[in-house]
Amino acid sequence: MVTTVSDPEIGHTFLPTTAPSIDRTAAELAVGQLLAAFGVDADSEIGVNTPRRVADAYAQMLTQKPWKFTKFPNEDDQHDLVVTGGIEFTSVCAHHLLPFFGTAAVGYRPTQFIPGLSKVARAVRMFAARLQTQEGMGRQVARYLQQQLECADVGVLLRAEHTCMTCRGVRAQGSLTITVATTGALQTDAAARAEFVQLASMAGRAA
């Protein structure tokens, strides 16, 4: 991790090293083998070009470029809950390798620092760019923001449509999965948790 500091802005440039690197050549070979197992002629247009296209598509969904998380001193002594909603994301289900997509609402109670608001959205998208479950993604975003903002109370509400449920199996078109991940008082205090969920739901509707 490369760290830069300037007054009054504090910034950290993050390389998403927790996400695995992608071997594009191996991915193309694997997709070609899968297509062959499905009876696709290796010499057809699909057999020749689809392995590259699929590898490109997954690489795009699972790769996050380095970016700078910026935070600022909490000079106004703001300690009430702040919620940002309508953050769109796309991720990939680790169980079926199919996309799930939706919106996130993120809340935090500032202590020493407040973030640049766009960096909240970038944090969501950073953790979306990997193979995982929706539940795991919410927990990762919450822990990350808790650490970077040095605050105890963070909440992440995710609403997503899973194509592994809408396009296969039960094929429940239009169904949504909602998960909530919280830390600190937003997890242990019923009133604080209810406040976050209410504001997160309002932020989602407004978006």
For residue range 11-68, what is the model confidence (pLDDT) as tens digits?
555 545 455 678 999 999 999 999 999 999 999 999 999 999 999 999 999 988 888 8
- The DSSP symbol for 167 reads S
Residues 96 and 127 in one domain: yes
56 and 114, same structural domain?
Answer: no
Which residue from 88, 93, 92, 90 is spatially nearest to 105, judged by alpha carbons?
88
56 and 157 both lie in a single domain: no
Each residue of 123-154: pLDDT tens digit?
999 999 999 999 999 999 999 999 999 999 99
**Alpha helix segments (H runs only) across 24-161:** 24-37, 45-61, 117-128, 134-149
Is the pLDDT at 6 greater than 50? The verdict is no
CATH code of the domain covering residue 103: 3.30.1130.10
Q: Is residue 1 part of a domain?
A: no
pLDDT of 198 > 60? The answer is yes
Q: What is the pLDDT of residues 170-194, one digit of tens each?
A: 666 777 899 999 999 999 999 999 9
**Residue 88 scores a pLDDT above 90:** yes
| Number of structural domains in the chain | 2
Is residue 105 situated within a structural domain? yes
Residue 6 lies in a domain: no
**Same domain assignment for residues 135 and 40:** no
Rounded distance between C-alpha atoms, residue 196 and residue 207, angstroms: 16
pLDDT of 2 > 50? The answer is no
Per the structure, the complete domain to which residue 118 belongs is given by 72-206
Rounded to whole angstroms, the Cα distance separating 37 from 41 reads: 10
